[in-house]
Amino acid sequence: MIAMKLHINTDYTGISPYPIMIILSFIVGLFVQYYFNVKRGINKNTSCKLILISPVMSVICAVLLTYYSSGRKYFGFSSIGGLVGMYMATLISAIIERKNGEIKIMLENCTFALPLMYSISKIGCLFAGCCHGIEYSGFLSVHYISNTCAEMALFPVQLLETIAFFIIFVVGIVLYKMHSRKSLYVTFGLSVSAKFIIDFFRESHNGKVLSFNQLLCLILWAVMIAVSWLYKRRKCGRFCLKRN
C-alpha cells in the first residue's frame, strides 16, 4: 500500500500562504454572495454595501472571539466568529434597506457562500500549520518541517475540512438549483455537523470531552432550530392581514 504523505515546510521567506488564502476566501465568498443576491433580485446598491461591511464585521468578530475565548491572552481568527460577523453584516444591510422578504433571501445567500469561504480558508491553515490534527502517520499524513520545532506527523484535518465543506457547498447549490425549500437548512445543518465531528480529529481537542468550537456548534444548532421555529410562528403584525 502506498503511504502518501504531505511534507510542508512552514518557514516561509516571503508572504505566508495563510493571509493570501484568507483574502482569497473573502473575495470568492463575497463574489458568490453578490452574484446570488443580484440574480435573486436584491438591489445592486444593497449588495455592494454588503461587500463593504462583511469583511470588516467578519474580521472583528473573528478576532474578538479568539481574544476572549483565550482569556484575553492572544489574537487570532476564529471561523465561528467570522461566521457570526458575516451573518451580522447581512442582517444589518437587510434591515437598513427595510424591504420585506430581502432579509431571508440575503441570509440564505450568505449561508450558501459560507461553506466555500471556509473550505478555501482551511487551505491557508494547512500550509501555515495552525488548527492541526492529532498525531497520525498513516495515509495522507501531514509532516510539518520547521527550524523552530521538531518534525510532526499529523492527521490532515485541514484538508479534510477543505474537501468536506466544498462538498457541502456543492450540495447546497445543487439543492438550490432543484428549488428545494430545505436547501438552506441542509447547508447550514451539514456545515455545523461537519465542523462538530471534524473537531474530534484536531490536536486542540485532546483531553476534552467537547472543545470550545464544538460547544459553539451546539449553540449554532440551537439558534437554527429557534430561528426556524420563530419564523414559522411569526405573524406579519404590521399588515393585520386579511386573506382574499
Partner 1 sequence: MVVNYYEVKNCRYEIYDNCPVLFPPDDTAESLLREYGFVKLIDGRWCKFLSVTEYQHILHGNVNFDISYNPLKYTDSENTGNNRFSNILSILSLICFAVGIEPFLVMSFTPVFVFWGFAIALVIAARVITPKNIFAKVLSILYIIVGIIITILIIILIIACQHMCDSCINAFNDCHIPG
Q: Under the rule (CB under 8 A), what is the footprint of partner 1?
A: 11, 15-16, 19, 39-43, 52-53, 55-57, 59-60, 63-64, 67, 72, 75, 92, 95-102, 104-105, 108, 147-148, 176, 179-181, 183-184, 231, 234-236, 238-239, 241-244
The distance of closest approach from Cβ of residue 32 to partner 1 in the complex, given in angstroms and rounded to an integer, is: 16
Cβ distance to partner 1 smaller for residue 181 or 209? 181
d(CA 227, CA 229): 5
The distance of closest approach from Cβ of residue 39 to partner 1 in the complex, given in angstroms and rounded to an integer, is: 7
Beta bridge partners of residue 8, listed in sequence order: 144
Cβ distance to partner 1 smaller for residue 34 or 176? 176
Return the residue matching grid coordinates 463575497.
Answer: 30
Cβ distance to partner 1 smaller for residue 188 or 196? 188
The distance of closest approach from Cβ of residue 153 to partner 1 in the complex, given in angstroms and rounded to an integer, is: 23
The SS3 call for residue 117 is: helix
The distance of closest approach from Cβ of residue 57 to partner 1 in the complex, given in angstroms and rounded to an integer, is: 8
d(CA 160, CA 9): 19
The distance of closest approach from Cβ of residue 198 to partner 1 in the complex, given in angstroms and rounded to an integer, is: 26
Phi, psi of 9 (to 5 degrees): -95, 120
Cβ distance to partner 1 smaller for residue 53 or 159? 53
What cell numbers appear for 2 in the block?
502506498
Distance set, CA 38 to CA 20, 32, 105, 130, 179 (Å)? 27, 10, 11, 36, 17
The distance of closest approach from Cβ of residue 64 to partner 1 in the complex, given in angstroms and rounded to an integer, is: 7
Beta bridge partners of residue 9, listed in sequence order: 145
Instruction: Give the closest residue to 157 by CA, choosing from 121, 122, 206.
Output: 122
Cβ distance to partner 1 smaller for residue 125 or 160? 125
Cβ distance to partner 1 smaller for residue 24 or 134? 24
116 contacts 166 by C-beta, under 8 angstroms: yes
Phi, psi of 7 (to 5 degrees): -110, 120
